[in-house]
Amino acid sequence: MFLKFLDKLERKFGKYAIKGIMLYIAIGNLAVFLLNFMMPIQSHLRLIPSLVLKGQVWRLVTYVFIPPQTSILFILFTVYFYYMIGTTLEREWGSFKLNIYYLVGMIATTIAAFITGGSDATHLNLSLFLAFAYMFPNYEILLFFILPIKIKYLAWLNVAFIGFTVLFGPLSSKVAALVSLANFILFFGNDMIEWIRNRRRSYNKRKDYFRQIEEGRRANERNMRK
């Protein structure tokens, strides 16, 4: 239902979509990483609600450009990985739907930040990864540049990480982890519900099938005793 609603919005507002949005985010991450060597700018980009309320509204956007780590090798790998994921989703969905997915994730992250006092793009990026894994579960990547592994297995680790965070993490992490799933649920919630229903129907059919076999076997045994 939500995707059908998006189709209507796209017909009206699709021309305003930012094409290649993940390229800009990737370039922004690398630029912030390099600039941070010359001046400590990351502290001016973080999503800190108290400072947003004081007028530093740019923080509502700029936090997505903060690189995940300080290691250049890790940053290059991570930025390329999310760029690849984003461009693949854009080819599959189109620019407008990817923009909406990312925007909903940003709004959810902002809500989490105002509840907990601060947040970053970690769970936003994880939600992007979940969308890719859901649509392309058998896509293979080289883990540690050596081991081929299907992305669906990494997605289950991602889900486990979110579940662990919800169960054992501090309140701020719990909220961020839960809210980060907002865009994924909006886009794929109906599919997941339908999948669960189909699994239940299949289970019930198998259960009825084996029940009928068992009833037939018992009936044959009773007939043989007669």
DSSP character string of 102-151? HHHHHHHHHHHHHHHS-B-SHHHHHHHHHHHHHH-TT-EEEETTTEEEEH
CATH number at residue 186: 1.20.1540.10
Q: Which residues contact 190 (CB under 8 A, 6 or more apart)?
A: 1, 2, 3
Q: What is the DSSP string of 195-225?
A: HHHHHHHHHHHHHHHHHHHHHHHHHHHHHHH
Do 162 and 177 contact (CB within 8 A), yes or no?
Answer: yes
Give the pLDDT confidence score for residue 193 in this predicted structure. Answer: 73
Who's near 102: CB < 8 A, 6+ residues apart? Answer: 21, 124, 128, 183
**What's the domain count of the chain?**
1
In this structure, what DSSP letter does residue 47 have? B
Q: What is the pLDDT along the chain (226 residues), one digit of tens a residue?
A: 677 777 787 888 888 888 989 999 999 988 888 888 788 888 888 888 889 999 999 999 999 998 876 677 777 878 888 888 899 999 988 899 899 999 988 888 888 888 887 777 877 888 888 889 888 888 877 666 677 778 888 888 888 887 888 788 777 777 777 777 788 888 887 776 776 777 777 766 776 666 666 666 666 666 666 5
Rounded Cα distance between 170 and 176, Å, is 10
pLDDT value, residue 42: 84
**H or E segment and range at residue 191:** helix 182-225
The reported pLDDT for the residue numbered 56 is 92
Give the domain range for residue 182.
2-225
Which residue has 């896509």 as its token pair? 139
Full-model pTM: 0.80
For the chain, the distance separating the N- and C-terminal CA atoms, rounded to the nearest angstrom, is 59
Contacts of 66 (CB under 8 A, 6+ apart): 29, 32, 42, 45, 46, 120, 121
Taking the CB of residue 180, how many other CB atoms lie within 10 A of it? 25
Task: Name, in order, each residue with C-beta under 8 angstroms of 93's C-beta and a sequence gap of 6 or more.
Answer: 101
